[in-house]
Structure 1
Amino acid sequence: MRASLLLLLLTASTALAAPRTFRVDYFHTGNATEERFSLQRLVVEPLPWPGHLARTVDETNLGKYLFEVRDRQTNRLLYSRGFASIFGEWETTPEAKEVHRTFGESLRFPTPDRPVQVILKKRDAQNAFREVWSLVVDPKDPFVDPSSPPAPGPLFKLVESGPSSDKVDFLILGDGYTEAERPKFEKDARRLVDTLFATSPFKERKGDFNVWGLMPAAAQSGVSRPSTGVHRRPPLGSTYDAFGAERYILTFDNTALRETAAFAPYEFVEILVNGNTYGGGGIFNLFSTVAADSLWASYVFVHEFGHHFAGLADEYYTSAPIYGPAPADRVEPWEKNVTALKDPAQLKWKDLVSPGTPLPTPWNQAAYDAHALQVQQRRQKIRSERKPEAEMDALLLSQRDWEEKFLGTQKVSGKVGAFEGAHYESKGFYRPQADCLMFTRDRVPFCAVCQRGIREIIDLYAGPSAPQTRKSP
């Protein structure tokens, strides 16, 4: 079906039930010690708001930032969402201590019928939200742009479970695929979506999702990888080497991302990058990415979606860091799956701790760290010598095999506790279980704490699942 026709049908089917989607595009500028915000433009997107109008307020307490939309006349809270951003990550890098940079960002919410106050908040040093920017938005302002950019290509369904208002709408975008590679993108998207829904708790909640696919055609196959001298101009601007990390894939072109995604109902976005070098990325409530042809694409897809969808923290700590060290006086992280464990009696997942498990929970961290150091040294050598990707894959496979056996045979394997080593730090931060999909590339599930965090976000968008009824023996 042609994109324009599908867009018309989608619009007609939901126009009576929901307002259109309003978008505030703005610039986020600063460095490690200061930041400023400036309005870029106000946009009404072509499709209706995909979310449920009774589930507009976010009480999950997730995200480095939070925005609120309040009725200008009554100050009533109409909409709120926590999120993270590229700027929020970049400001913690060494580069941010030396230069200023600007990043494009967007806030999306149901189009109001009268003026509203949009309030942007950021966590302070104690993780409390404080207002950092505010603006009045009048939906009847003549400079609000309701026009539509050219359609990027046909929209197709990967999973359809019901009306958008009752489901999580997840959009898969392709970047670096030429028109001739469109069938490849669709095949890649279906393969990776199948992987996601084979993983708990997504497997059990598949009926709460709609998944869409959309691919703007690239003039040239592939995306940029500056560390090897490869530069491309894919439609969405995806690139390896974000923040100098060879495996980190992001797009810094917010306008291209938003104008493309506007042709689908969406709340979450994954960018499939047409490449085979290991890589990906994920930022809470922004987007996630994965190199579709990497041997590790299935793992990276699910891991990075955990960041994007539920704000899950990285639990690993042995990879080369791209962010600065945590302050000596660590505050409790906002992410649900890591803790500073200031007071074991107040552990945020205490209700899931296995009876009799000590806090902190002992494990053989010294042996794990020694093996991880060897792997990192070999990994750096492979990249510096520009060896074939097969050599990197072989190294990571051997690491996975060793870690699965090592972590799977600890006395506390499979139990929930508080294991030191998480959040890019070997000391001072703790994770819930010895192994987890957010800790290693091992063939293990999300830990119990991560699974609960994911279910909480599904409930926010699609409503709680029906309680399970136990059958009599």
Structure 2
Amino acid sequence: MAASLLRTCALAALAALAVPALAAPAQAPQPAQPATVRVDYLHTGNALSESYALERVSIEPLPWPGDLSQAIDRTDRGNNMVEVVDPNTGAVLYSRGFSTIFAEWRSTEEANRISRGFEESVRFPKFDKPVRVRILKRDERNQFSVVWTADVDADAPDTVKKQGPAPARPIPIRVSGPSPQKVDLLVLGDGYTAADMKKFEADVRRLADKLFQTSPFKERANDFNVWALAVPTQESGISRPSTGQHHASALGTRYDIFGSERYVLTLDNRALRDIAMYAPYEFIEILVNNETYGGGGIFGQFSTAAAANPWSNYLFIHEFGHHFAGLADEYYTSPVAYQSTGARPEPWEPNATALKDPAHLKWNKYVKAGTPLPTPWPKEEYETHSREYQKVRAELRKQNRPETEMDKLFRDDLAWTNALFAKSQYVRSVGAFEGANYEAKGYYRPEMQCIMFDRSETFCHVCADAIAEIIDLYSRPVPAAK
């Protein structure tokens, strides 16, 4: 798309969504979208109990960006589900699956010792009457049940109806059409100073281009809008407490979440939402202006990636896979904060299974006749190599060695893995390969390699299908010309 045409489309799209302080030429009238309601609440507890408390209800400055004809989520993803229902009839008006940082923290050792609270939010289109908001949680039967309800009247006096000026101007990166017909991805920046703003925009454009060069995003690129927004920081980079680096930022993103040196999240949900609300979005990826390898992703919340790392392309896409489609990590030899219970329930994630019933494998349509389940692969040889590789990796981090040394280790490891797997009979097959979901035994992944398993560049068939299903939930196909 030519730059002038992109700018015209972007201004029109932003104007339609009422972004403050942006002017646009007159456009043909579009059907009015309802306002966006956000419910902020506290989610507190420990390994044994949890509770919820309403914090505030607010009207965001932009109309609802989503497709009102796709109000109900039937993908069955996430640890949780939000339902907005008619309190008189019980009819579900809107629903979406999601996961939470609280649920991840609850699986750590710390949750056995103390209680903590986490801010969370749910967003939905404003209805013309009071509604009941229900938070559902997936139970041991893999079914959702209600754990909290709150009656919400968006027109009530205590609803926050007026927001302040935007802290930064949203930048249109890719505009394919009106937000209700497209997936709106907002890329936020953290750790970028005022002098770094050109670098931020270049980082977003580079990584968005890489995303849309990767299937299945490549084939569905026209179903996406991409926006960028960053509130400048005083110093370049974000906090990395394990090395004594502490930087202030509006988003509060940092490394070392839950004691994992590579895990990057923000725990300040209020700050995140109060900045993101000034651009159209359904999904958020936070780029941090750091060289150190790291990232994170929570389904339905946000994902993060270190933009200055040599592996930023991989990080951006891998972590977005978690956030966008609820994909499980397929690797299992890297240390994580997660504490295994030894149980092996069937995961809700589409790309991992406990294989309790091989005849009804969830991705059975991709398995060719004659492929054994479980599927053989050079697991023992891989694990022997991986144990040595992880020792070297840990020592490099312990000594705070230059990132170039970590980069070389990663490249050598991927080359070794590619050479090993190339000799396997089932290297290009879909089956059930033991080792996934952080566990060496009892969980299985669909293919030997995938972006969710190692630093390769391709999603497996199952992950690609799961991504496409979410794209379908948020985008509306454009009718073919007659």
TM range (shorter): over 0.9
Q: Which amino acid aligns with 1:341?
A: L
Q: How does 1:332-343 map to 2 (within 5 A)?
A: 332-343=346-357
Contact 1:176/1:235, CA 8 A, preserved across alignment: no
Change (3 A) 1:464 1:367: farther
Q: Say which of 193, 196, 201 aligns to 2:211.
A: 196
> Are the aligned partners of 2:223 and 2:471 in contact in 1 as well (CA < 8 Å)?
yes
**Are the counterparts in 2 of residues 459 and 465 from structure 1 also a CA contact under 8 Å?**
no
- Report what 2:130 is aligned to: 115
Residue 435 in structure 1 maps to residue 449 in structure 2: yes
Is residue 376 of structure 1 aligned with residue 390 of structure 2? yes
Looking at structure 1, the residues matched to 93 and 127 of structure 2 have their Cα atoms a distance apart, in angstroms, of: 9
TM-score normalised to structure 1 length: 0.95
Q: Hey, what does 1:459 align to over in structure 2? A: 472
Q: Which moves more between the two structures, 398-407 or 273-282?
A: 398-407
8 Å CA contact 1:92, 1:323 repeated in 2:
yes
Q: CA deviation at 1:391?
A: 1.2
What is aligned with 1:471? Answer: none
Q: Could you report, residue by residue, the CA deviation over 1:291-310 in whole angstroms, capped at 9, with x for unpaired residues? A: 00001100010000000000
Structure 2 residue 68 is matched with structure 1 residue 53: yes
Residue 316 (structure 1) aligns with: 331
1:24 alignment partner, SS class: strand
| Structure 1 residue 410, shift from structure 2 partner | 1.1
Matched-pair identity in %: 53
Alignment of 1:250-399 (within 5 A): 250-328=265-343, 330-399=344-413
> Which residue in the other structure is 1:205 paired with?
220
- Deviation of residue 463 (structure 1)? 3.7
- Correspondence 1:159 to 2:166: no
Task: Give ranges in structure 1 of 5+ residues lacking alignment.
Answer: 468-473
Deviation at 1:321? 2.4
User: How many angstroms does 1:7 deviate by?
Assistant: 5.7
**Alignment-derived partner of residue 470 in structure 1:** none
Asked if the contact 1:63–1:334 (Cα under 8 Å) also holds between the matched residues in 2, the reply is: yes
Deviation at residue 390 of structure 1 after TM alignment: 1.3
Matched residue, 2:254: 239
* Cα distance in 2 between the residues matched to 1:352 and 1:326: 31
2:190 and 2:355 map into 1 onto residues whose CA distance is: 41
Change in 2 beyond 3 A, CA 1:40/1:15:
farther
Would the aligned equivalents of 1:176 and 1:273 in 2 still touch at CA under 8 Å? yes
Q: Does the CA-based 8 Å contact 1:15-1:48 persist in structure 2?
A: no
2:426 and 2:400 mapped to 1: Cα distance? 39
Q: Is the 8 A contact 2:345 2:354 kept in 1?
A: yes
**Local SS of the residue matching 1:118:** strand
Partner Cα separation in structure 2 for residue 291 and residue 241 of structure 1:
13
Question: Any conservation in 1 of the 2:13–2:178 contact (CA below 8 Å)?
Answer: no
Residues 91, 15 of structure 1: CA spacing in aligned structure 2 closer, same or farther, 3 A cutoff? farther
CA distance in 2, matches of 1:377, 1:264: 43
Indicate the SS of the match to 1:54: helix
CA contact (8 A) 2:13 2:179 kept: no
- In structure 1, give the amino acid aligned to 2:347: P
| Paired residues for 1:12-91 under 5 Å | 16-91=31-106
Question: Which region of structure 1 is more displaced relative to structure 2, 15-24 or 259-268?
Answer: 15-24
Of stretches 69-78 and 297-306 in structure 1, the one that deviates more from structure 2 is 69-78
Mapped to 2, the partners of 1:231 and 1:410 lie a distance apart of 46
- The CA deviation at 1:434 is 0.8
Q: Which residue of 1 aligns with 2:17?
A: 10
Separation in 2, partners of 1:59, 1:16: 26
| Partner residue in 1 for 2:431 | 417
Higher deviation after alignment, 148-157 or 377-386? 148-157
Return the letter of the residue paired with 1:388: P
Further displaced range: 53-62 or 348-357:
348-357
CA distance in 1, matches of 2:32, 2:157: 25
Give the CA deviation at 1:464. 5.9
Give 1:109's aligned amino acid: F
Distance 1:32 1:202 in 2: 37
Give the Cα–Cα distance (whole angstroms) in 1 for the partners of residues 342 and 156 of structure 2: 45
2:233 match: 218
Deviations 1:72-91 (A, max 9, x none): 22221110000001001100
Partner of 1:101: 116
Q: Which amino acid aligns with 2:377?
A: W
Q: CA deviation at 1:16?
A: 4.5
8 Å contact 1:4–1:151 — kept in the other structure? no
Q: Which runs of 5+ in 2 are unaligned?
A: 1-6, 20-26
1:93 is matched by which residue type in structure 2? T
User: Which stretch of structure 1 is more off in the superposition, 8-17 or 398-407?
Assistant: 8-17
Distance across 2 between alignment mates of 1:223 and 1:200: 31
RMSD: 1.8
Q: How big is the shift at 1:267? A: 0.3
Partner SS state of residue 185, structure 1: helix
Q: Deviations over 1:180-214 (max 9, x none)?
A: 11001000000000010000000000010001011
How much has 1:355 moved relative to structure 2?
A: 2.3
* 8 Å contact kept, 2:45–2:51: yes
Instruction: Say whether the 8 Å CA contact 2:13–2:177 is kept in structure 1.
Output: no
The amino acid across from 1:461 in the alignment is Y
Q: Aligned to 2:93, what secondary structure does the other structure show? A: strand
Contact 1:271-1:287 at 8 Å conserved across structures = yes
Deviation at 1:30, TM superposition (A): 0.5
- 2:151 corresponds to which of 132, 136, 158: 136
Q: Which runs of 4+ in 1 moved over 3 A?
A: 3-9, 12-16, 463-467
What SS does structure 1 have at the residue aligned with 2:68? coil
Contact 2:40/2:54 (<8 A) preserved:
yes
> What is the rounded CA distance, in whole Å, between the counterparts of 2:219 and 2:16 in structure 1?
30
CA contact (8 A) 2:58 2:154 kept: no
Letter in 1 for 2:354: A
Check the 8 A contact 2:173/2:227 in 1, yes or no. yes
Answer yes or no: is the 8 Å Cα contact 1:178–1:221 preserved in 2: yes
Q: Which amino acid aligns with 2:230?
A: M
Deviation at 1:327, TM superposition (A): 3.3
Q: Secondary structure at the match of 1:402?
A: helix
Choose 429-438 or 379-388, whichever is displaced more: 379-388
Matched-pair contact (CA < 8 Å) for 1:7–1:47: no
Change (3 A) 1:214 1:6: farther
What CA distance in whole angstroms lies between the structure 1 residues aligned with 2:417 and 2:209? 26
Distance, in Å, in 1 between the alignment partners of 2:220 and 2:14 is 27
